[in-house]
Amino acid sequence: MKPFLITVDDDFEVSRAVERDLRRKYGEQYRVLRAESGAEALASLEQLKLRNEMVALFLVDQRMPQMTGVEFLSRAISLYPEAKRALLTAYADTDAAIRAINDAQVDYYLMKPWHPPEERLYPIIDDLLEDWHATFKSPFQGIRVLGHRWSPQTHQIKEFLGRNQVPYQWLDIEKDGEAATLLQSAHASPEQLPVVVFPDGSSLIQPTTFQVAEKVGFRMKAEQPFYDLIVIGAGPSGLAAAVYGGSEGLKTVLLERQAPGGQAGMSSRIENYLGFPAGLSGQDLARRALTQAQRFGVELLSPQEAVSLRVAGPARIVTLADGSELSGKTVLITTGVSYRTLNVPGVAQLTGAGVYYGAGMTEAVAAKGEDVYVVGGANSAGQAAVYFARYARQVTILVRGESLSATMSYYLIERLKQTPNIVVETCVEVFECRGTSRLESLILQDTKTKDCRSVPAQSLFILIGALPYTDWLGDTVLRDEHGFILSGPDLVRDGCLPPAWPLARAPYLFETSVPGVFVAGDARHGSIKRMASGVGEGTIAEKMIERYLDEV
Ligand SMILES: Cc1cc2nc3c(=O)[nH]c(=O)nc-3n(C[C@H](O)[C@H](O)[C@H](O)COP(=O)(O)OP(=O)(O)OC[C@H]3O[C@@H](n4cnc5c(N)ncnc54)[C@H](O)[C@@H]3O)c2cc1C
């Protein structure tokens, strides 16, 4: 992207002449923008700022009726402090120009007329541009999120972009001067954060993730009227089924409510997945799997949530959160699990403001140099702790039990021991989270003595087991007492199939109590809850779906 050279002059003839001379010499490497008043130039600058364009130089006439050159430059500094500033003056204005070197930090003043430019204009501009290049850092060319670190809404937007692998720059309104300038250019106030600024210069004030998704260009509407296979949930199980469905020529659509990758997408490093001896991040795996599925013609609708399922003759109809419907011959439910909530005082109010569910990778960098607490004793908590230890001063894992050995893999326990800034505290639980607008301290209770103590804390990450994402199904398919979906042989009770089962044959492996509706992965009753098993189940379920399709 070429930087701008901006010239401002109210005299049309002079202004055109400057523009022409600048274009002639610099047109290949720079864009030249001409304005005929300070006000017009400032309005253009605000737009350029929102689009994150670079401005290398201002060349401004001092004598302009509404706003002098010096006045304009003093205001332009706040938008583009690093741009070089040159004043165009008449001989009579020399004194004003010299004063401006101090007052408006003007880098140079040029006398009118500047002809021939080869002698009286270009050498000076060359010099200024060389200087600008030597010190200038290219701006980030992408989405920028302005907000408060402790705002749940800001966290939600960051988490959404991060998990969907959309590159963005986060600007903390309390720490980053650039954020305040941008906020002004977007005509928003600090009470209206978060604000998302897009590379085309447009911005969304306090947007929902759906609005951001729409603007980024995610597809949320189905292309086909009818599918062979509707997969609900794009975690490892759903992605695997979609890859195989697509590769077997099934018209397949994959729905995802948050971000492809599911729980695996939250894992900073999966070290026990077959074929990756150095481990891989869940997001990497999700990205590869999604590309593979799309290569086989699978349609991804994301973010898009299934809210109900019904049967209409041979069709299985899924209603989406936006009220639209998808019809297909078969449905595969791979909705996985969500985090179990920690029900102690303060958690609900402070969620997103220092208290987070899951590994919260988007917050890890912000916690640099701070003390971080992780609640949970399973592998996911161990992995999160190892990841945070790269940024935090100290990571403390809070475990209710007496040791980690029953709940965490051996390799991770060893990793925790080898990481000097990780501390494991056993026989302890969070009794209360305290803080007004953000987490400030934790009250921890010893599970044996019941003694309580307070510790200062800015971040708490909760990873304490999971519940299936299946409530939206109601009674459509049979579920166990915890909500996990029954399928295949698990539907048989005392040698009998459920009374509502309508077919002479028994349900296929992973087929639910509704023929043509299948389940795989963590949402399934009896599943192993590992990535490889989810991938395996998704693959097998797809094969069973082909068998079902052969008979309808
Ligand atoms: C932090 C962490 C680390 C882990 N590390 C490992 C590891 O190292 N090794 C290992 O083997 N396993 C690991 N696991 C477990 C592993 O990730 C899971 O077993 C696996 O992701 C389960 O896959 P799934 O596809 O069944 O469900 P999920 O991964 O839970 O995916 C389900 C998806 O469905 C979506 N969804 C839910 N409801 C709806 C709806 N109504 N409409 C549309 N979409 C919906 C969700 O948003 C989600 O994306 C880890 C888990 C976590 C949380």
262 close to ligand 1 (CB < 6 Angstrom): yes
In the chain, % of residues over pLDDT 90 = 76
Structure confidence by residue, pLDDT tens digits, 4-15: 999 999 999 999
pTM: 0.79
Q: What percent of the chain has pLDDT over 70?
A: 100
What confidence score (pLDDT) does residue 165 get? 86
pLDDT at 105: 81
C-beta 472 within 6 A of ligand 1 = yes
Residue 173 pLDDT level (bands cut at 50, 70, 90) = very high
Model pLDDT, residue 352 = 87
* Cis geometry, peptide bond prior to residue 199 (ω within 30 degrees of 0): no
226: which 2 tokens? 């009818």
Which amino acid residue places its CA nearest to atom 8 of ligand 1? Answer: 270
| Ligand 1: centre distance to CA 163 (Å) | 13
- Assess whether the C-beta atom of 234 lies below 6 angstroms from ligand 1: yes
pLDDT at 382 over 90: yes
| Distance from the alpha carbon of residue 346 to the mean position of ligand 1, in angstroms | 27
Per-residue model confidence (pLDDT) at position 136: 82
Quick one: pLDDT at residue 307? 98
Tokens of 230: 């509707």
Pairs from 182-187 (Cβ < 8 Å, separation ≥ 24): 182/49, 182/50, 182/144, 182/146, 183/146, 184/46, 185/46, 185/47, 185/49, 185/50, 185/79, 186/50, 186/146
Asked if the model's pLDDT at residue 18 lies above 80, the reply is: yes
What average pLDDT score do residues 464-469 get?
Answer: 89
Q: Which two tokens stand for residue 293?
A: 């599925």
411 ligand 1 Cβ < 6 A: no
d(CA 147, CA 124): 41
Structure confidence by residue, pLDDT tens digits, 57-109 = 999 999 898 999 989 998 999 899 999 999 998 877 777 777 777 777 888 88
- Each residue's pLDDT tens digit, 388-424: 999 999 999 999 999 999 999 999 999 999 999 999 9
* Chain mean position to CA 202: 18
Is residue 434 a contact partner of residue 409, using CB atoms and an 8 Å limit?
Answer: no
Q: Rounded mean pLDDT of the chain?
A: 92
Ligand 1 centroid–CA 528 distance in Å is 12
Q: Which residues partner with 427 through β-bridges? A: none
Point out the least confidently predicted range of 120-124, 133-137, 193-197: 133-137
Largest separation between any pair of C-alpha atoms in the chain: 105
Q: How far apart are the CA of 61 and the centre of ligand 1, in A?
A: 62
Question: How much is the pLDDT for 449?
Answer: 96
Q: Is the CB of 408 under 6 A from ligand 1?
A: no
Burial 420-456 (b: 16+ CB within 10 A, else e): ebbebeeebbbbebbbeebbbebbbbeeeeeeeeeee
Average pLDDT over residues 267-288: 84
For residue 108, the SS3 value is strand
With a 6 Å cutoff on the Cβ, whether 258 touches ligand 1 is yes
CA dist 180 and 183 (Å) reads 5
Which atom of ligand 1 lies closest to the CA of 472? 41
| pLDDT above 80 (res 228) | yes
- On whether the CB atoms of residues 374 and 404 are closer than 8 A, the answer is no
- Which residue's alpha carbon is nearest to atom 37 within ligand 1? 335
Between CA 489 and CA 497, with CA 495 as vertex, the angle to 5 degrees is: 60
Instruction: Find the 524 Cα to ligand 1 centroid distance in Å.
Output: 12
The mean per-residue pLDDT over the stretch 148-152 comes to: 89
Q: Please state the φ and ψ torsions of residue 546, each to the nearest 5 degrees.
A: -60, -40
Q: Which atom belonging to ligand 1 lies closest to the Cα atom of 269?
A: 8
What pLDDT does residue 158 have?
A: 93
Could you tell me the distance, in angstroms and rounded to a whole number, from the CA of residue 423 to the centre of ligand 1? 27
Backbone angles phi, psi at 511, to 5 degrees: -85, 135
| CA atoms of 443 and 433, how far apart (whole Å) | 6
- The response to whether residue 363 sits with its C-beta less than 6 Å from ligand 1 reads no
- Spatial separation of the C-alpha atoms in residues 375 and 382, rounded to whole Å: 10
Residue 154 has pLDDT above 90, yes or no: yes
How high is the pLDDT of residue 177?
Answer: 85
Nearest atom in ligand 1 to 466's CA: 53
**Pocket-testing residue among 335, 374, 525, ligand 1, by greatest number of atoms within 8 A of Cβ:** 335
Alpha helices by DSSP H, listed for 217-281, are 236-247
Q: What would you report as the CA-atom Rg of the chain, rounded to the nearest whole angstrom? A: 30
